[in-house]
Amino acid sequence: MSHPGSGARVILSVACLAEAEAMLPLATGLAAEAGATLEGLLFEEADSIALALVGAARIVDPAGRTLVGLDPSRMGAAYARDAARFERLLSRAAEDAALRWSFRHARGRLTEALASIAAPGDLLVLPAGPLRTPLREIVLAAGADAALTPLAEAAATRMSRPLRRLLVPGLPQLGAGSVLFSRYEAPRLAALLAETRCIHVLRS
Amino acid sequence: MDQIATGQPLSARHLAGEEDFALGFATTAELDPLSDWPGQDRALEALRLAADTDHGDFNLYVLGTPGTGRHSATRQVLAEAAARRPPPPDRVYVNRFDDPRRPIAIDLPPGRAVELRDALRKVVNDLADEIPAIFESEDYQTRRRAIEDSYSERHEQAMGVLADAARARGMAIVRTPMGFGVAPRKGDEILPPDEYEKLPEDERNRIGAAIDELRDQLEDVLKDVPRGLKAQRAEVEELNVAMAREGVDAALADAVRRFADHPPVTRHLQALREDLIDNAELFLIREDGAQAGAFPVATSRHHLKPQFRRYAVNVIVGQDPEKATGAPVVEESLPTLANLIGRIEYASDQGTLVMNFTMIRPGALHRANGGFLILDAMQVLSEPLAWDALKRSLKSGEIAIYSAGERFSLISTETLDPDPMPLKLRVVLVGDRTLYYLLAAFDPDFGRLFKLEADFDDRMERNAESALLLARLIGTMARADGLRPVAAGGVARLLAESLRLADDGERFALNLAALGDILREADHLAGAAAAEAIGRDDVEAAIAAAERRAGRLRERSQEAIARGVLLIDTDGARVGQVNALSVLEIGKTRFGRPGRVSARVRMGAGKLVDIEREAELGGPIHSKGVMILSGYLAGSYAPDLPFSLWASLVFEQSYGGVEGDSASAAELFALLSALADLPIDQSLAVTGSVNQFGDVQAIGGVNEKVEGFFDTCAARGLTGRQGVLIPVSNVPHLVLRPRVRDAMEAGRFRVIPIATVDEGIALLTGRSAGSRGPDGIFPPDSVNGRVEARLIGYAEARQRFGQKASPSEAGG
């Protein structure tokens, strides 16, 4: 059962079910640690729709086979299917952890959507880059919000992964298995996602 | 005993009785206990041979009458022999990991089966704690993570290179629910479709070529993922095996060291080690919720969990090393097939019958292996397939476990085929003689497998030495049963009863069970009288009480005579009628009863009609006795003339079968009385068989017969004339009840031994039998003279009858 709007939230934003599966344990742990509502967001990026329309675009499935006959309706159906599965996964995980939860399925530009959704104190969990791998490290950005420190430490402990604290401001080269805890800055989100390939935990 | 004079009444001093025993002790407490069985030397010799020899097939059949000490002697002799033998090896079944249908049988030194079982339980319990700890350890997690990271990094790197190349060429790779998309980029976003359409054709071609190139590379990267995962899994598996091996070797080290000198166990431990390593994940299965139980995991007995049964040791025969002395002596009172050769139990799992090697249960053959197995022969033979299984096991020298269902192909479920266990033991069957002779006659295997017989005698010669032995045995029985000691008088009475049980004043019966019953009842009576020892009167009372309890039929029989329902005369005289005696035996009741035998005669063609036989109530031995009478009559009287007698003989008021020849003397006396037309004294009864020369021969049950007629007479009042004629050869068998002895002593009842028919007929008729004179003729007034005269008369009459002209001849 969802209870949107009750206190701080951990918003897990993904583009597909594979990303949700990879990141849900992290988001659930954060919500449990922070006592926050877990909110799932499956976002249909406008780029993905464009992908189905651009004649030269190609889609290769996870097994390495090129898909033919690409059209927006198939893409839409795939999103709907992933959304339903994501919601089931989310509800099960939240109930197991005794968390309040909500789910939404949205379209448009992610950066714009998050800017409108995120409220102060929310934690945004979202991936950058196309590849997801097992989590390998927790990284706490230099100058990150003080409230993020205990959450990063708890995540590192829970997942038995090392916690790395960055002392110098800026964006290091992080791999897909890294989780970077940092401040949410709406104007810079698009660039942040374009320039990095890790998982981000952003506190607004 | 005085010389016996035939034709004269016996006195009590001629009879065997308790007075004969001069015992030189006050009570049996003074006697040394007897550890042997008197009078059973032959049987004990066979028992000891069976117990001590190591030769195969020297199995033993202990035969004899129940109550002769067969079981107790067998148990004691075997127990003594077993104590001298080394304890047999322990035996276990363990899992054959490469073929669980065929469990492996392993022999172990005595006492080590339980040690092995406990050692492997400890291994499992230890591993159940250690393997999860190993796989949860920082070391393992780090090493595993390093492997996984190396592969994911390799993949990540390939994707990163590809993403960088795409970005450099103005392309984007984006994640969608359908997979990875490759498309032209405009800034940080995908080139809108309408803008793409507006591009010049060569530009679109360039983009298309770049996308196809990137797509090819993407395909390669993604197709490489499964290969990487496979390699990663293999590497993780290697790590797992290495880690598990470390844990398993540590856990098994103690067991391996302790059983290093035992190759079969070492081989099993090696196979177990491989299986533990291969299946280490079994130890990572966690129980949650209600199944976890109330106790913390650390105190749980992990070896009981179903997934660890494969590592169990099923102890089929295990001994406590502290107590393992000697070979086993096992007595199986219910020798079913399963109780004999063992069984494999089934369990129902989701509607299917399942089994495993831990469900193999031992049978008596397993438990007695290396020692002795005592079985009741009748029980083994009456249990389906048990006798067959026993013979198969003895013949093959191994125990193969199977069920009746398998034997008859009634079970279609999967079953086990355990290694047969080697068998070496001595089987002792205890049974009766009939069964022994039947087996010997009809089962060809029996003689080969049971080469020895221990034949327990049911009687022992009476002399001073044997009387003392029996007295000591009585004392030992009293001591063993926690009874009072037996006073000398009590022992003497018991000895007399032993003679009575043997039906022989010169033999003691070795029916220890019967003596024991009397002893226990006498002890009860002595206890009620607060006596310190069992006295003569206690024994007498116990015997009398037992007779009274079993005496309903006897009393009914005597009552029928007393009321005149059964016609028995005990005074007066009558022609052609004599009191005979028979014994009735029903269950534990055995008593004598008088019966009337009558004979009628007339001229005829030499036929003696046995009415019992004609009515099909007479048995073959009875018929034989009657035919002997014909021979006696034909050979003794008027031998030169045709035997021209027709006579009929019958047991009056006898409606059941008649068997035996003990009434043939009485029948002959009735015939002679009828032929001589001389009345027989009805105050006498007769028992004995005769031969064709007129000798009176011994019969059985003489005591009961005498007492039966005595009781009839006593009920009507003893006259002093009443008595019984018995064969003189039966006098040593007389062990009469005190009431009869007392009456004989007082001259109120007579027991008269006779040796010949002439003696008997003279006593019965009061007239001399008569011997042929020098002229070959019997004195005319003697019994024989009157008989011969009657028979000559019949012959002459018959001759005359044959010479009469037929009516046709007269007319001609």
CB pairs under 8 A between A and B: 149
DSSP class of residue B386 equals H
Across all residues in chain A, what is the average pLDDT?
88
Q: Hey, are the CB atoms on A59 and B222 less than 8 Å from each other?
A: no
Query: Alpha-carbon distance A134 to B236, whole Å?
Result: 15
Least-confidence region, from A132-136, B446-450, B582-586 = A132-136
Across all residues in chain B, what is the average pLDDT?
89
Phi–psi pair at B409, nearest 5 degrees? 55, 40
- pLDDT surpassing 50 at residue A4: no
Mean per-residue pLDDT, B58-64: 93
| Residue B179 with chain A: CB contacts under 8 Å | 59-62, 67
Distance from the Cα of B149 to chain A's closest Cα (Å) equals 7
Question: For B99-113, how does the pLDDT look when each residue is reduced to its tens digit (9 = 90+)?
Answer: 999 999 999 999 899
Least-confidence region, from A22-26, B296-300, B693-697 = B296-300
Whether B624 is a known active-site residue: answer no
- Structural domain includes residue A1: no
- Structural domain includes residue A3: no
Whether B498 is a known active-site residue: answer no
Tally of CB atoms within 10 A around B295? 9
Burial B669-694 (b: 16+ CB within 10 A, else e): bbbbbbbbebbbbbbbbbbbbbeeeb
Per-residue pLDDT at B286: 65
Per-residue pLDDT at B812: 33
Per-residue pLDDT at A12: 96
Q: Which residues contact B76 (CB under 8 A, 6 or more apart)?
A: B35
Number of residues that this document lists for chain A: 204
Going by C-alpha positions, the residue among B552, B560, B617 that lies closest to residue B594 is B560
Residue ranges making up the domain that contains A41: 9-203
- pLDDT surpassing 50 at residue B529: yes
Number of domains into which chain A is organized? 1
Mean per-residue pLDDT, B631-637: 90
Partner-chain residue, chosen from B156, B174, B211, that has the shortest CB–CB distance to A176: B156
3-class secondary-structure state, position A9? strand
Query: Alpha-carbon distance B53 to B49, whole Å?
Result: 6
Per-residue pLDDT at B303: 80
pLDDT > 70: what percent of chain B? Answer: 96
Distance from the Cα of B237 to chain A's closest Cα (Å) equals 18
Question: For B184-195, how does the pLDDT look when each residue is reduced to its tens digit (9 = 90+)?
Answer: 888 777 888 888
- Structural domain includes residue A149: yes
Per-residue pLDDT at B810: 41
CATH 1.10.8.60 assigned to domain B24-33+461-549? The reply is yes
Token reading at B621: 């031995």
Q: Hey, are the CB atoms on A16 and B222 less than 8 Å from each other?
A: no
Q: Hey, are the CB atoms on B190 and A47 less than 8 Å from each other?
A: yes
pLDDT > 90: what percent of chain B? Answer: 57
- pLDDT surpassing 50 at residue B224: yes
pLDDT > 90: what percent of chain A? Answer: 50
Second CATH level (architecture) for the domain B114-292: Up-down Bundle (1.20)
Q: Hey, are the CB atoms on A50 and B183 less than 8 Å from each other?
A: yes
Per-residue pLDDT at B229: 87
- Superfamily, domain B52-86+326-456: P-loop containing nucleotide triphosphate hydrolases (3.40.50.300)
- Structural domain includes residue A143: yes
B401 with B360: CB under 8 angstroms? yes
- Structural domain includes residue A2: no
- Say which of B403, B636, B654, B662 is annotated catalytic: B662
Q: Hey, are the CB atoms on A60 and B175 less than 8 Å from each other?
A: no
Per-residue pLDDT at B296: 52
Per-residue pLDDT at B804: 64
Question: For B756-809, how does the pLDDT look when each residue is reduced to its tens digit (9 = 90+)?
Answer: 999 999 999 999 999 999 998 999 999 999 999 999 999 988 888 877 644 544
- pLDDT surpassing 80 at residue B410: no
- pLDDT surpassing 50 at residue B129: yes
With CA atoms as reference, the chain B residue closest to A195 would be B188
More confident residue, B583 or B657: B583
Per-residue pLDDT at B353: 78
Per-residue pLDDT at B61: 96
Question: For B149-185, how does the pLDDT look when each residue is reduced to its tens digit (9 = 90+)?
Answer: 888 888 888 888 888 888 888 888 888 888 888 888 8
More confident residue, B540 or B801: B540
Return the domain boundaries, chain B: 24-33+461-549, 52-86+326-456, 114-292, 555-800
- HEC letters along B153-167: HHHHHHHHHHHHHHH
* ipTM for the assembly: 0.88
CATH fold, domain B555-800, is: Ribosomal Protein S5; domain 2 (3.30.230)
- Structural domain includes residue A25: yes
Question: For A128-186, how does the pLDDT look when each residue is reduced to its tens digit (9 = 90+)?
Answer: 888 878 888 999 998 888 889 999 999 999 988 889 999 888 777 888 889 999 999 88
Query: Alpha-carbon distance A47 to B185, whole Å?
Result: 10
| Residue A133 with chain B: CB contacts under 8 Å | 152-153, 155-156
With CA atoms as reference, the chain B residue closest to A130 would be B175
* Beta-ladder partners of B60: B428, B452
- pLDDT surpassing 80 at residue B422: yes
